[in-house]
Amino acid sequence: MSGPKPAPLDLIVKAAEEEFNRRPPTICVIGLSGVGKSSTINAMFGTHKRVSATTRGTNRFRTDVFEIVSQRMEGAAIKCALRVLDAPGLGEDVSLDENYLSRYRHHLKDKACDMVLWIVAARNRALALDQQYLTRLADVLPNVLIGINQVDLVEPLNWNAGINMPSREQDKAVKEIVEDRHAKLSKCLRGQCKTVAYSALKYYNLQSLFAACLDVSPPDRRWMFDLLKSFSTHDWLNKAKGLSAAQKQQLARAYIKSDEKISAESLPG
């Protein structure tokens, strides 16, 4: 006896778009000023959040909803939405932090975030402020992922531009940084959390960060985040200045599974 017929593609697309409109997936990005919060969101989801390397990028709380046309599903484009809780960077002005922390608590309770991406800069060894803020917000933080950005700036500053990856010396240092930051920050949270090192600027290890975002998001919402992915292996390889076209193709084949299209049958009924 044959099973039920699969729903027509247009009905699946319609149902998915209605769910995005009803309750867009929501991510809150937190961290000290200058760690690359907006750059990370832009790289992963193709948004166009303002990035500033010299002045405070955000000085008030706002909820941005980005309309994104996803090409991730086989045979159809889907009009999606991503809601980002855009919050001020902590640690820039001690006179503002107490007010910011109070507002963080209010917004985290009110906005029903699916996950929190807490970002630190790889070169920043001083973690006391992050530890303090994590501890004070732990009871309102849902599904936390620690991201360690800007690994391309880790000493001895000899990033391998030819293959767009850390040098051997940097790779060793990055592994030590991940172990150290994870130990010091995860203890401030109630339960374990994942820690991923990456470079938003170089698109390096962005797939691992994205996969970790999926892992920590609510199981019934992961398909929505997956549809929002806007980068591919080629974004990383295109920044590798020393690889031939053939070498890029060979590397792409090794990572291509992460760029595969999503089948309509895999979406929730």
Going from N- to C-terminal start, the domains of the chain cover 9-266
Burial string for 169-186 (b: 16+ CB within 10 Å, else e) reads ebeebbeebbeebbebbb
- CA separation for the pair 86, 14 (Å, rounded): 29
pLDDT at residue 50, as a whole number: 65
- CA separation for the pair 165, 179 (Å, rounded): 19
| Residue 177: C-alpha distances to residues 31, 37, 227 (Å) | 17, 19, 31
Burial string for 229-239 (b: 16+ CB within 10 Å, else e) reads bbbbbbebbeb
Paired strand residues for 70: 78
Q: Could you give the dihedral angle defined by the CA atoms of residues 40, 106, 22 and 51, in that order, rounded to the nearest 10 degrees?
A: -20
Grouping H, G, I as helix, E, B as strand and the rest as coil, residue 161 is: coil
DSSP assignment of 156-210: T---BTTTTB--HHHHHHHHHHHHHHHHHHHTTSSS--EEEE-BTTTTBTHHHHH
- CA separation for the pair 75, 162 (Å, rounded): 36
- List the Cα angle 230/265/220 in 5-degree steps: 65
Q: Does residue 42 contact residue 57 with C-beta atoms inside 8 Å?
A: no
The residue whose two tokens read 């806007």 is 230
pLDDT at residue 33, as a whole number: 84
pLDDT at residue 60, as a whole number: 65
Tens of pLDDT, residue by residue, the chain (269 residues): 555 665 689 999 999 999 999 999 999 999 888 899 999 999 999 998 766 554 445 556 778 899 999 999 999 999 999 999 866 677 777 777 788 888 888 888 777 899 999 999 999 999 999 999 999 999 999 899 999 999 999 999 999 999 999 999 999 999 999 999 999 999 999 777 999 999 999 999 999 999 999 999 999 999 999 999 999 998 999 999 999 989 888 888 877 678 889 998 888 86
- Compute the residue count for the chain: 269
Residue type at 198 in one-letter notation: Y
- CA separation for the pair 157, 169 (Å, rounded): 9
- CA separation for the pair 117, 35 (Å, rounded): 12
Sign of CA dihedral 197, 198, 204, 207: positive
Q: What is the 8-class DSSP label of residue 57?
A: S
pLDDT at residue 5, as a whole number: 60
For domain 9-266, the CATH architecture is: 3-Layer(aba) Sandwich (3.40)
| Most distant CA atoms of the chain, gap in Å | 70
- CA separation for the pair 247, 55 (Å, rounded): 40
pLDDT at residue 55, as a whole number: 46
> The tokens of 158 are what?
């000899």
* Its pTM surpasses 0.85: yes
